[in-house]
Amino acid sequence: MKKRSILFPFTAFSIAASSLTSVHACQSTSDLSSLPEEDGADKAEVSVRPNVIFIYADDIGYGDLGCNQAVKTISTPNVDKLADEGIRFTNAYSAAATSTPARYAMLTGEYAWRRPGTGIAAGNAAMIIKPERYTIADMFKNAGYSTAVVGKWHLGLGAETGKQDWNGLVTPNTSDLGFDYSYIMAATADRTPCVYMENGRVVGLDPSDPIEVSYNKPIPGEPTGKSNPELLTLHPSHGHNQAIVNGISRIGYMKGGHSARWKDENIADSIVAHAIGFIESRKSGTPFFLYLGTNDIHVPRVPHARFCGKSGMGARGDALLSFDWCVGEIMKTLKRLKMDRNTIIVLSSDNGPVVDDGYKDQAVELLGSHRPWGHLRGGKYSSYEAGSRVPCILRWKGTVKPAVSDAMVSQIDWMGSFAQLLGVTLPAGAGPDSENQLDAWLGKDKVGREYVVGQNVNNNLSIRTRDWKYIAPGKGSAMYVQTNIELGNSQEPQLYRLSDDESEKVNCASEYPQIMRELQLRLEQVKVKK
């Protein structure tokens, strides 16, 4: 049975520091002697137990960040600085092309398609990762780390879908998954309930105005985007026409909790403030692990006024500036607290980009020459490369030399790789699909994984090796018409020679039948792996 986490509440600017006792301290550490070091690095500042921060972006594509662009169409100076000081990966993958399964796989080290009920979660979904499941937060906690999750969650809460008591303590919650502290969005920005949850409870709730949430039928007396469009300040382009919060209609229905409802334009500020609060509370010496799930640039896109109109690309571009600001605030905090050299930052995204994902925010009309998907085909939801090949940077200042790496890496390996770094032995059955790719993540291995497996919105699978990409025949339409994204679904097998066709323009399955059969077999072997 897993040891349950200790909960310690704090506000954004007034922190009560807590001393946490680890389940067991790590008995050994991996050999760091062969790691390259920057000239002049102070070795005394480098610990074998560095702090670790995952900055996990939402819907940011490979081409959305300045550091990945040959011709700059967006200014992301803080992310670019992080890339200049770290390793920027050109072949990094999430485990799925949508949010929930990608996050499930990253946190558990298990492909989401192995488990039923791991598709895109409703706002009132039960907690998808079961309390008995060993997570990457458990791993860090077992190594003596203080652990926190701040920001977007989208993995459900509570024991039963639709049965949560949002007016009390919702259990199980993130504390049952190895996180000592949590300040999370209960679902996503476009789903009810539109409230923050701190350690399992709604923040700022007035007991006289209890929350009611429904995903089955409208709540009597509550306006919706469908029935009351005159109340909207941002109109949906498809779906998103149910409960109205802050003049924006969402997915799902909601009543009450008015004092607790977030202001969309302040979400980034609130998430960053609580992330900084957690970091500040740990400056006493205990190493920490922070999973920071940013909301930018998921819909509805309502960036703060200080970003509005600054990108020239409308709300989506302005939200990218907001994301870059978030990264910069974390970097400044680490430098101010003299944690800069002893903290590993890993920045990536849960899946590829989508432009119109349900609201009339002029993202398509104002896109201009910007290409969120870069040179790749597809986008969020898709089996094609832009669905799950994502931006990725690792910085360990003073320990890992800056570089650009073409090694093939996957977020599913963060558990196995950091376990190696910390000298943690994973329990039997934990992280079954997570490989130890620490050398690739730290720039010592230029090749990385032998293959990566992808999953699209229809749960159709693909497999990529260094040179080839095979997409298995599967169900579903070829296009997600509302988002204008090719999904990669076909009744015919697809084979692409990525070594000279990264844009997946030519299906050469008939030309290379032997290669296709080999990849088919390998994918089948992965599917039956225990």
Coil, helix or strand for 94?
Answer: coil
Is 5 among the domain residues? Answer: no
Tokens of 507: 């299906």
Is 25 among the domain residues? Answer: no
Is 470 among the domain residues? Answer: yes
Residue type, 436: N
Distance set, CA 432 to CA 275, 426, 470, 529 (Å): 30, 10, 23, 9
Is 35 among the domain residues? Answer: no
Percent above pLDDT 70 for the chain = 91
Q: Using alpha carbons, select from 314, 310, 276, 309 the residue that is nearest to residue 297.
A: 314
Q: How far apart are CA 270 and CA 324, in angstroms?
A: 15
Of 446, 471, 499, at which residue does a domain stop?
A: 446
Q: Which of the residue ranges 28-42, 219-233, 274-288 would you say has the lowest mean pLDDT?
A: 28-42
Of 255, 286, 321, at which residue does a domain stop?
A: 255
**Based on the domain organization, do 389 and 513 belong to the same domain?**
no
Is 386 among the domain residues? Answer: yes
The yes-or-no verdict on residue 128 having pLDDT over 80 is yes
The pLDDT of residue 29 is 38
The yes-or-no verdict on residue 31 having pLDDT over 70 is no
Provide the residue range defining the domain that includes 500.
Answer: 453-528
Average pLDDT over residues 312-323: 98
The yes-or-no verdict on residue 218 having pLDDT over 90 is yes
Is 32 among the domain residues? Answer: no
**CATH number, position 485:** 3.30.1120.10
Label residue 488 exposed, middle or buried (CB < 10 Å: 0-12, 13-18, 19+): buried
**Based on the domain organization, do 434 and 460 belong to the same domain?**
no
**Based on the domain organization, do 394 and 488 belong to the same domain?**
no
**Based on the domain organization, do 192 and 325 belong to the same domain?**
yes
The pLDDT of residue 42 is 39
Instruction: Specify whether the CB–CB gap between 424 and 139 falls below 8 A.
Output: yes
The pLDDT of residue 284 is 72
Q: How far apart are CA 392 and CA 88, in angstroms?
A: 6
Q: How far apart are CA 148 and CA 218, in angstroms?
A: 35
Q: Which of the residue ranges 133-137, 280-284, 306-310, 323-327 would you say has the lowest mean pLDDT?
A: 280-284
Quickly state the pLDDT bin for 45 (edges 50, 70, 90): very low
pLDDT digits (tens, 9 = 90+) for 445-477: 999 999 999 999 999 999 999 999 999 999 999
Q: How far apart are CA 96 and CA 113, in angstroms?
A: 9
Phi, psi of 54 (to 5 degrees): -95, 115
**Based on the domain organization, do 271 and 125 belong to the same domain?**
yes
- State the total domains in the chain: 3
The yes-or-no verdict on residue 285 having pLDDT over 80 is no
Is 287 among the domain residues? Answer: yes
**Based on the domain organization, do 435 and 465 belong to the same domain?**
no
**Based on the domain organization, do 123 and 98 belong to the same domain?**
yes
Q: Is the dihedral of CA 440, 460, 509, 502 positive or negative?
A: negative
Written as one string, the DSSP assignment of 117-174 is T-SSPPTTPPPSS-TTS--HHHHHHHTT-EEEEEEE--S--SSSTT---TTS--SS-G
**Based on the domain organization, do 462 and 481 belong to the same domain?**
yes
Is 14 among the domain residues? Answer: no
**Based on the domain organization, do 386 and 477 belong to the same domain?**
no
**CATH number, position 374:** 3.40.720.10
**Based on the domain organization, do 200 and 222 belong to the same domain?**
no
Q: Which of the residue ranges 5-9, 66-70, 217-221 would you say has the lowest mean pLDDT?
A: 5-9
The yes-or-no verdict on residue 11 having pLDDT over 50 is no
**Based on the domain organization, do 401 and 427 belong to the same domain?**
yes
**Based on the domain organization, do 478 and 332 belong to the same domain?**
no
Of 395, 426, 446, at which residue does a domain stop?
A: 446
Angle between helices 267-281 and 314-336 (to 10 degrees): 10
